[in-house]
């Protein structure tokens, strides 16, 4: 009887040990499989996108309002909306600082988001065009040909436009939908709320803000 009990105990111990070994092997195999899967997952990501997984989002999208940062960006291109925004920045703000160019672009995008203005970049920029000096952006209705004589400057503002359209630029104007240069003082500036001064431009928004203005 004792021999039978000892034999059963030995078998139980052997089964238990084997179970442990099997469990340990299973855990090790699962861990290895997960590690390999993770490696395959990262290896499947294009190298230019690895920073999205390995870095903080804020670092990946950080914008510096300097010429050197702008020069480091790839050549920009895009469709009609990008072209319209690039042209607006070229004719309205190419002599401004990089920060000033971003601020002007932001005003245009704030208008696109507002119920008070057209809902596209080209629509906002060309609003009122056809009536001399009655448009929103003077270069579109001053009668002068819209010829780009400085391709290098256009390439630079094109990068600004691309960054803004891609949603990478931080807020600079606190919701501004209007601006003017420091050389003039339009009547509407008396009733709108001043939000910022960047370079030679002063920025404003409607006195009463709503979710759709």
Please report the pLDDT score of residue 127 as a whole number: 87
- The tokens describing 152, both together, are 């290098």
Q: What is the pLDDT of residues 156-178, one digit of tens each?
A: 999 999 999 999 999 999 999 99
Please report the pLDDT score of residue 208 as a whole number: 58
Q: What is the pLDDT of residues 34-63, one digit of tens each?
A: 344 433 333 443 444 334 433 343 333 589
Beta bridge partners of 194: 204
Name every residue whose Cβ is closer than 8 Å to that of residue 161 and which is 6 or more positions away in sequence: 76, 78, 82, 85, 86, 89, 105
Q: What is the pLDDT of residues 134-164, one digit of tens each?
A: 678 888 887 788 899 999 999 999 999 999 9
Please report the pLDDT score of residue 129 as a whole number: 64
Looking at per-residue pLDDT, the higher value among 57 and 179 belongs to: 179
- The tokens describing 123, both together, are 């629509």
Please report the pLDDT score of residue 90 as a whole number: 96
CA-nearest of 103, 133, 109 to 122 is: 109
Q: What is the pLDDT of residues 88-108, one digit of tens each?
A: 999 999 999 999 999 999 999
Q: What residues does each domain of the chain span?
A: 2-57, 65-205
pLDDT band for position 2 (cuts 50, 70, 90): very low
- β-sheet with 201-205: strand ranges across: 178-181, 201-205, 193-198
Please report the pLDDT score of residue 130 as a whole number: 60
Q: Which fold has domain 65-205?
A: Arc Repressor Mutant, subunit A (1.10.10)
DSSP E strand boundaries for the chain: 178-181, 193-198, 201-205
Percent over 90 (pLDDT), the chain: 50
């Amino acid at each position: 009887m004792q021999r039978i009990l000892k034999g059963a105990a030995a078998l139980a111990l052997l089964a238990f040990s084997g179970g442990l070994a099997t469990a340990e092997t299973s855990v090790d195999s699962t861990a290895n499989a997960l590690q390999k899967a993770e490696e395959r997952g990262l290896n499947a990501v294009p190298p230019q996108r690895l920073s999205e997984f390995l870095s903080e989002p804020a670092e990946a999208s950080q914008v510096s309002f300097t010429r050197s940062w702008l020069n480091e960006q790839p050549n920009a291109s895009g469709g009609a909306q990008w072209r319209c925004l690039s042209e607006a920045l070229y004719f309205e703000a190419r002599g401004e600082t990089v920060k000033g160019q971003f601020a002007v672009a932001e005003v245009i995008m704030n208008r696109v988001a507002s119920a008070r203005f057209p809902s596209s970049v080209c629509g906002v920029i060309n609003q009122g065009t056809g009536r001399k000096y009655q448009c929103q952006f003077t270069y579109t209705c001053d009668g002068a040909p819209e010829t780009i004589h400085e391709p290098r400057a256009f390439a630079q503002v094109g990068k600004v436009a691309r960054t803004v359209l891609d949603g990478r630029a931080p807020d600079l104007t606190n919701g501004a939908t209007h601006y003017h240069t420091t050389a003039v003082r339009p009547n509407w500036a008396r009733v709108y709320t001043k939000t910022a001064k960047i370079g030679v431009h002063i920025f404003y928004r409607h006195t009463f803000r709503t979710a759709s203005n």
